[in-house]
Amino acid sequence: MSESEHGQPSSRKHPPVQLSWLIEPQELSLPAYHSELASGMDVQAALTTPLSIPAGGIALIPTGFAVALAPGYELQVRPRSGLAIKHGVTVVNAPGTIDADYRGEVKIGLINLGEIAYTVNRGDRVAQLVLAAVCQAQIQVVDSLPSSQRQDGGFGHTGV
């Protein structure tokens, strides 16, 4: 197997992600990677008018597209670091999940943790989507669990 200049296998598998516009996109772009090794695709707001999110407020931002994923995959909706650090605006349920069988419009739940209102405009990059493999658990009900060194030690138990 040959490798690219960054040491990544050049024949790395790329599962299909089908995207379909639900609106007339005009100047909007579908989610896209903005560098060769980016893990997240930036997502733009498909608002028709600017939307102000007050400090402490939550808003659902339309993207104008739907998606179909291969079985065994999800899209994780993650915050954009610049938006979070500079303005305190992040994904409210980070990471959000778009399941492989969902076909509705992708919408981004944002929360403004900043101290002042934040305005989202059409075309603003509001989140990123990361394709991730998933597996479903086989639930087993048992009478007792096997012991472990940690046992029931919880929050802060490991000293961190």
pLDDT tens figures, 39-64: 999 999 999 999 999 999 999 999 99
Query: 125 in a domain, yes or no?
Result: yes
In angstroms, the CA 114 to CA 61 distance is 18
- Does pLDDT of 10 surpass 90? no
pLDDT > 90 in the chain, percent: 78
Residue 22 lies in a domain: no
Find tokens 């989140």 and name the residue. 127
158 belongs to a structural domain? no
Residue 153 counted as domain residue: no
Q: Would the pLDDT of 3 be above 50?
A: no
d(CA 29, CA 159): 46
Q: How many independent structural domains does the chain possess? A: 1
Q: Which residues contact 55 (CB under 8 A, 6 or more apart)?
A: 112, 114, 115, 116, 117
Asked if residue 123 belongs to a domain, the reply is yes
Specify the pTM: 0.82
| CATH code, 104 | 2.70.40.10
Domain membership flag for residue 28: no
What gap in Å lies between CA 75 and CA 97, rounded to an integer?
A: 6
> In the chain, at which residue ranges do the beta strands (DSSP E only) sit?
17-21, 41-44, 51-53, 58-69, 73-78, 89-91, 96-98, 105-112, 118-120, 125-133
Domain boundaries, position 126: 38-133
Report yes or no on 97 lying in a domain: yes
H helices of the chain, in order, are 81-87
For the chain, the residue count is 160
Query: Is 110 part of a structural domain of the chain?
Result: yes
